[in-house]
Amino acid sequence: MGGTEENYVKEAFDTNWIAPLGNNVNEFESQIKSYTGIGSACALSSGTAGIHIALDLLGVGQDDIVFCSSLTFIASANPILYLGAKPVFIDSDLESWNMSPLALERAFEVYKEKGQLPKAVVIVNLYGQSARMDELMTICDKYGVAVVEDAAESLGSKYNGKMSGTFGKLGIFSFNGNKIITTSGGGMIVSEDEELIKKALKKATQSRDQAVHYQHSEVGYNYRLSNISAGIGRGQMEVLDKRVDQKRAIFDRYVEGLGYIEGIEFMPEMEDTLHNRWLSTLTIDSSKLNVTVNDIVEHLAEFNIEARPVWKPMHMQPLFEDCDYYSEENDNARYLFENGLCLPSDTKMTEDEQDFVIDKIKELIL
């Protein structure tokens, strides 16, 4: 916590506004709009809720096709199933680790030939790195398909000077407990289309019609953020830029401590972007280091250090084994999963603690 969150939570208690209404909710939405430069925002109970509502608003329904990044957390794809639609997964490129324009174009060509263009494309900004939004948006615009930008991990990042989460028809942020800022659990859906966000607000509050009595003409959800959680968010926004600086400093210390070792490659930062470095991630060449990702994870665990592989791609998940997948010449998403490692990246971590992590990795591989 940054220190001021309690004041805003106390405000919710003092004014007796606890439910998903109140000044904290309004102000938190205003902060996100001001910070990102987006026109409209609606605070929600999770980023997953945001993706669900976004796809719903874009008309995704039973048996529709939705293209989605494969290398991501499952929350990017689950809402496709909520609506009865069929995900088609798209490979990553190795420069961004995000959706490959080449693989996306291939998928569009095939599905255009089938006469079954997707209703939406979910593009993920992995670990805080923006996808190649200019190229990807150009492709999606060519086929007239709307983009949902999953910026759950990338608040504070920039692509060509523009804030992450503001490129798609709808953007999504997450404030889950592990994100760069948190409301304990929460999310935000944003758009330049004010009418679309008004519809999102209605969807998030059980789609109640304007009437004295309770009347409902369409399916809705109970997805609004509470005024208490939004109070935490207000305080967190005050330290967001500091968090980004801290995350980037953590990454730089890892690069300084490990980057010279042949066989270790850190996640790139594309030109003209700002990567918030939510997690410090790298790939290892097992043939050069004579260890696997799991060897490193298990070795660090012996010293109470938690490290993990990168996300297991969706096209490799049992849940999605029957779904189509379009890759580049090589399956980059699989490569990154099999060789990728996430290191401890908590902003509370001291330099001594980080040096301890670095020393234990060196102990194993050198």
Tokens, residue 129: 């790195």
User: Would the pLDDT of 19 be above 90?
Assistant: no
Q: What is the dihedral of CA 12, 15, 16, 18, to 10 degrees?
A: -30
> Does one domain contain both 135 and 258?
no
**Domain with 268 in it: what CATH number?**
3.90.1150.10
Q: Are residues 145 and 198 in the same domain?
A: yes
Q: Domain check: are 200 and 283 in the same one?
A: no
Same domain, 39 and 188: yes
Same domain, 197 and 211: yes
Q: Are 205 and 21 in contact (CB under 8 A)?
A: no
Co-location of 63 and 197 in the same domain = yes
Q: Please say if the pLDDT value at position 54 is more than 90.
A: yes
Q: Does 223 share its domain with 312?
A: no
For 230, the domain range is 5-237
209 and 253 inside one domain: no
Spatial contact of 277 and 294, defined as CB atoms under 8 Å apart = no
| Count of domains for the chain | 2
Q: Are residues 205 and 290 in the same domain?
A: no
Q: What is the per-residue pLDDT across 144-179, written as a single tens digit (0 to 9) for each?
A: 999 999 999 999 999 999 999 999 999 999 999 999
Domain end point (choices 237, 265, 282): 237
- Residue that is last in its domain, among 220, 237, 254: 237
- The pLDDT of residue 20 is 85
Backbone dihedral angles phi then psi of residue 118, each to the nearest 5 degrees:
-70, 155
pTM to 2 decimal places: 0.96
Domain boundary among 203, 237, 271: 237
Is 121 found in the same domain as 226? Answer: yes
In 118-224, DSSP assigns E strands to: 120-124, 146-150, 158-159, 162-163, 170-174, 187-191
Nearest CA-CA partner of 71 in 43, 45, 99: 99
Q: Are 228 and 313 contained in the same domain?
A: no
Residue 245 and residue 129 in one domain = no
- pLDDT tens, residue by residue, 179-191: 999 999 999 999 9
